[in-house]
Amino acid sequence: MTPTLPLSPGFYALVGPNAAGKTHFLHSLIGPDAAFVPAGSDIHFAGRTVADHLRAATTIRKLSSVSLPDKVQESSRFSDLSVGQRRLLTINLAFAVDAPLLLLDEPFDGLDVTSRRTARENLIAYLAENTDRTIVMASHRTEDFAGLATHVIQAFEHEISEPVLIDDLRTLFPTVTGPIKDVNALAERYGELTRSTLGPTARVTLAETPLDLDSMPGLSVEYPDDAQLLDILATTPAPAATSEAMTRKAQP
């Protein structure tokens, strides 16, 4: 069954390993109320020039004013545009569609540092001007979500989790620091994701959270910031998502 998740306005980070079903899930959300930016290798343009493509696009969807990338004009030929210019144009076209749902599949992939910065700045500006929109973005680089994502959707083996607020997942992956013996006992019981040691002290990020963790003597407990949490969620199903939440399956 193709999943259809009720998504309220916000920014949804779609994370998971390669070939886990992220692109298929985005495709399942495409409809008359959605604007879609496909992965770079899937982009196709109509005609030979930017003007050709804009004319073709307006016959399908109503567009507001389209911001052209730097040094790109309507007379520009696509054969003369760089990868970054083509990508930025595609993203800006999606911004110009008056759609409540924006779907982005690896929008910054393949861009150089300057183009990536420009694309991210354009996305931030779009979010600031369109607070009532729903954005779902897939990326294998979790830093692309920094300061943007409000929710997370996980994809593992073509199973798609229900969207969850980032803050609701933060306490699921505590990092515990303390005597090696005590930390090892916790790691053996609850599993570990990362580990470092220095002398008699161990520092471990647990795969689950003990109920009485904060009251355990001799241990200090920290919880991941957004960037750290997204790194974890890109490779590790959240405990809540592995049972009831990951109930929707994307067909390969």
**In this structure, what token pair is assigned to residue 217?**
């003597």
- In sequence order, which residues have a C-beta less than 8 Å from that of residue 192 and are 6 or more positions away? 204, 205, 206, 207
Q: Rg of the chain's alpha carbons, rounded to an integer?
A: 21
- Residue pair 186/199 in contact (Cβ under 8 Å)? The answer is no
Q: In tens digits, what is the pLDDT along the chain, a chain of 252 residues?
A: 344 566 899 999 999 998 899 999 999 999 888 999 988 755 777 778 877 777 877 766 666 777 777 788 878 888 888 888 888 888 888 888 888 999 999 998 888 888 888 889 889 999 999 999 999 999 988 889 988 999 999 999 989 998 999 999 999 999 999 999 999 999 999 999 999 999 999 999 999 888 888 778 889 999 999 999 999 999 998 875 443 444 444 444
For residue range 211-233, what is the model confidence (pLDDT) as tens digits?
A: 888 778 889 999 999 999 999 99
**In this structure, what token pair is assigned to residue 23?**
């692109």
pLDDT the model gives residue 223: 94
Quote the CA–CA distance of 117 and 189 in Å, as a whole number.
Answer: 43
Q: Which of 247, 209, 230 is nearest to 3 (CA)?
A: 247
pLDDT the model gives residue 60: 67
pLDDT the model gives residue 92: 86
Q: Which helix (H) or strand (E) holds 84?
A: helix 83-96
- In sequence order, which residues have a C-beta less than 8 Å from that of residue 96 and are 6 or more positions away? 63, 64, 65, 66, 67
pLDDT the model gives residue 32: 87
Quote the CA–CA distance of 71 and 89 in Å, as a whole number.
Answer: 11
Q: Which of 180, 119, 142 is nearest to 17 (CA)?
A: 142
pLDDT the model gives residue 55: 80
- Residue pair 174/223 in contact (Cβ under 8 Å)? The answer is yes
Per the rule left: phi > 0, alpha: psi between -120 and 50, beta: everything else, 10 is left
Residue whose token pair is 């515990």 = 176
What superfamily does domain 10-167 belong to in CATH? Answer: P-loop containing nucleotide triphosphate hydrolases (3.40.50.300)
Annotate 11-25 with b (16+ C-beta within 10 A) or e (fewer). Answer: bbbbbbeeebbbbbb
